[in-house]
Amino acid sequence: MVEPTSIRTTKGRGRVYDSVLDTIGDTPVIRVNNIPTHGATVYVKAEAFNPAGSVKDRLAVNIIEAAERSGALKPGQTVVEATSGNTGIGLAMVCAQKGYPLVVTMADSFSVERRRLMRMFGAKVVLTPRAEKGLGMYKKAAELAEKHGWFLASQFETDANADIHEATTAREIMADFDGARLDYVVTGYGTGGTVTGIARVLRKERPDTKIILSEPANAQLVGSGHAQERNANGAPTASHPAFEPHPIQGWTPDFIPAVLQEAIDEGFYDELIPIVGAEGVKCAQELASKEGIFTGISGGSTFAVSLEVARKAPKGSVILCMLPDTGERYLSTPLFEGIVEDMDEAELEISRSTSGFQIG
């Protein structure tokens, strides 16, 4: 632990913001100090610093603003989208600020915190049966858009998704590692926008940087080599045969998104490493308890893969791990199993060490 030599100070950002949407992006890259990294230097890019707490704030604002620019989204028109949570939360924030009604469709298997967050932002949340998986909520959103004339955000197909990561996320990485070593970038996928957008830039401007993609060990859609059935617009027409339910919420729906297909077709990743969900939970807990970095199961899973990369990489390698979101939207998931509400025995012992103000 490095001891501070003087009191910390801040200077302010040197600007004020016209809206919360102007605070999206420019998320910090943070070094991992206390968890063993096997001779490598590991950094995390903490997307929880976005205003609604996840990387999906980026695509949410760009989907809406690209549609505004093209005229596809009319003033006051309702926006509808299928989401496991983070995109819906990001869209709810954007739509609240811009004055668009939002309807989100979401399988009822995802954490209740996500529903409540979206409703807090003013969105309507329509639940779909978990047995119908991601494709069910996807088709429900499309049905609602067609029935009511709503704008379908289409996060899994729209060019606005990867485009914003090319324009912002990748550029931030380039700036933060300007003149410095960067051997690996590690990420999972939900829509595939992050890996596709980052790779468009890194393949051209930092071709020596290897890009590592991950997916759940029990739902290896990309790893199966089985092509996704989709229609002419890129939308999936059937669940992928390799899909199984997995605990890494936000990763890997039951189809390969069209946005990710670009990364597959263009060879935008150098290695595909699957990860067991329990390892993701463990690593997310360790990031919180040992580094003070709070992320969800998807972030923990990406970090677990980063540690695996570090074990195999030449000593001195520099690894950047994408952390998609914060951990607070996982309170009802396995991430918080074992985290009790009442005092445990150790806490009770501390309480009893003095005579006053005791409970229990």
Query: Active site residue: 56, 133, 140, 210, which one?
Result: 56
Spatial separation of the C-alpha atoms in residues 107 and 309, rounded to whole Å: 33
The span from the CA of 69 to the CA of 64, in Å, is 9
* Cβ–Cβ under 8 Å, residues 73 and 98: no
| CA neighbours closer than 13 Å in the CB half-sphere of residue 186 | 27
Contact 132, 107 (CB under 8 A): yes
Catalytic residue among 54, 154, 239, 298: 298
- CB-CB neighbours of 148 under 10 Å: 11
The span from the CA of 327 to the CA of 298, in Å, is 9
312 a catalytic residue: no
Q: Residue 194 and residue 158: Cα distance in Å, rounded?
A: 13
Please state, in angstroms and rounded to a whole number, the distance separating the CA atoms of residues 126 and 8. 46
Residue 216: what are its φ and ψ, rounded to 5°? -65, 140
Alpha-carbon distance of 143 to 146, in angstroms, equals: 5
Asked if 124 is an active-site residue, the reply is: no
Q: Which residues are catalytic?
A: 56, 298
